[in-house]
C-alpha cells in the first residue's frame, strides 16, 4: 500500500493528481487539524505528529511504501530512521530539513516567534480564500489548486502549524538525529525549483540515510500540484526497482 502524507499549509488533497496517475493502491492521510478536526487533547508537536503517523501506519495492511512531502517528509524521515521495520520503503522531499545545519525559512521563523506567529495566522485567516490564493500561485501552484489550499486554511490549522514549528527548534535534526542508514530503502526527491530546498544539503542527507537521490526537474515546492506526471514517473521507477 502506498501511503502519502502531506505538509504545511496543506491537506491530503495535494496528493490527488499524483494518486490518479499511478497504477497502485494508495491512501492519503490527513494530519490531525489539517482540513479535519483536531481530536480533544491531541498535541501538535513534531513528536505528537510522528506518533500519530506511526499509529496510522499500524492500522494499514502492509507492506507500506511511505511518501512524504514538506512536513510529511519530516515525519517520513523520523519513521524511516526510528521505525524502519514498519515500512517497506520511503520517499521524501525537502531533504535539507533533515540536515544538521538546516535553518528555518523566514515564514517558519515568524511562526516560531510567540506573538508574531499568532498575528500572522490571524491576519491570513482574515483574508478571503481569493485574497490568499495568489501567495500560492506565486510559488507555481495552479489557480484552482491554490484556491483550494487557501480555502482549507482556518484557525485550527494555524494553531497546529504554530505548535509543529515551535517544537522543531533549532531544527528537526537536533532531536531526531544523528541519522544512520535506514533499514527500508529510501529515495530523496529534490524539486529543482523548490525555493525552500537546498540541493547540496538534501544530497548529503540522502547519503547519510543510505538513500537514493533524484532531481525532479522543473518542480517547485508544491510539486504534487505542479508536476504530478513527472513525480509519478519517478515514484513508479523507484517502486518497480524494489520488486
Question: Using CA atoms, how far apart are residues 201 and 179, in angstroms rounded to an integer?
Answer: 13
Question: Using CA atoms, how far apart are residues 154 and 150, in angstroms rounded to an integer?
Answer: 9
Q: What is the mean pLDDT of each run of 10 residues along the chain (243 residues)?
A: 98 98 96 97 97 97 96 98 96 98 97 98 96 95 96 96 98 96 98 97 98 96 97 98 94
Q: Which domains does the chain have, with CATH numbers?
A: 2-103+172-241 (3.40.50.1820)
pLDDT for 122 equals 96
Provide, for the chain, the percentages of residues in helix, strand and coil under a 3-state DSSP scheme, each rounded to the nearest 5.
Answer: 50, 10, 40
- Report residue 23 as a C-alpha cell: 497504477
Read off the pTM.
Answer: 0.97
- Beta-strand pair 65-68/89-92: parallel
Total length of the chain:
243
pLDDT for 192 equals 97
pLDDT for 62 equals 83
Amino acid at each position: 500500500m502506498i501511503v502519502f502524507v502531506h505538509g504545511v499549509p496543506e491537506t491530503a488533497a495535494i496528493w490527488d493528481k499524483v494518486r490518479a496517475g499511478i497504477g497502485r493502491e494508495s491512501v492519503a492521510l490527513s494530519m490531525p487539524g489539517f482540513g479535519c478536526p483536531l481530536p480533544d487533547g491531541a498535541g501538535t508537536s513534531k513528536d505528537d505528529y510522528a506518533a500519530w503517523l506511526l499509529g496510522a501506519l499500524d492500522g494499514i495492511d502492509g507492506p507500506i511504501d511511505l511518501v512524504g512531502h514538506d512536513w510529511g517528509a519530516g515525519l517520513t524521515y523520523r519513521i524511516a530512521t526510528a521505525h524502519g521495520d514498519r515500512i517497506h520503503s520511503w520517499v521524501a522531499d525537502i531533504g535539507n530539513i533533515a540536515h544538521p545545519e538546516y535553518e528555518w525559512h523566514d515564514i517558519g521563523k515568524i511562526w516560531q516567534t510567540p506573538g508574531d506567529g499568532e498575528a500572522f495566522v490571524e491576519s491570513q485567516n482574515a483574508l478571503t480564500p481569493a485574497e490568499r490564493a495568489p501567495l500560492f500561485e506565486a510559488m507555481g501552484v495552479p489557480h484552482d489548486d491554490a484556491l483550494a489550499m487557501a480555502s482549507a486554511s482556518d484557525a485550527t490549522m494555524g494553531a497546529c502549524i504554530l505548535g509543529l514549528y515551535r517544537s522543531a527548534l533549532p531544527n528537526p535534526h537536533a532531536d531526531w538525529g544523528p541519522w544512520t542508514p535506514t533499514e527500508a530503502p529510501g529515495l530523496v526527491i529534490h524539486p529543482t525549483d523548490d525555493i525552500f530546498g537546498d540541493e547540496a544539503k538534501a544530497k548529503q542527507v540522502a547519503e547519510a540515510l543510505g538513500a537514493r537521490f533524484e532531481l525532479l526537474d522543473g518542480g517547485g515546492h508544491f510539486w504534487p500540484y505542479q508536476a504530478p506526471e513527472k513525480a509519478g514517473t519517478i515514484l513508479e521507477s523507484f517502486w518497480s526497482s524494489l520488486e
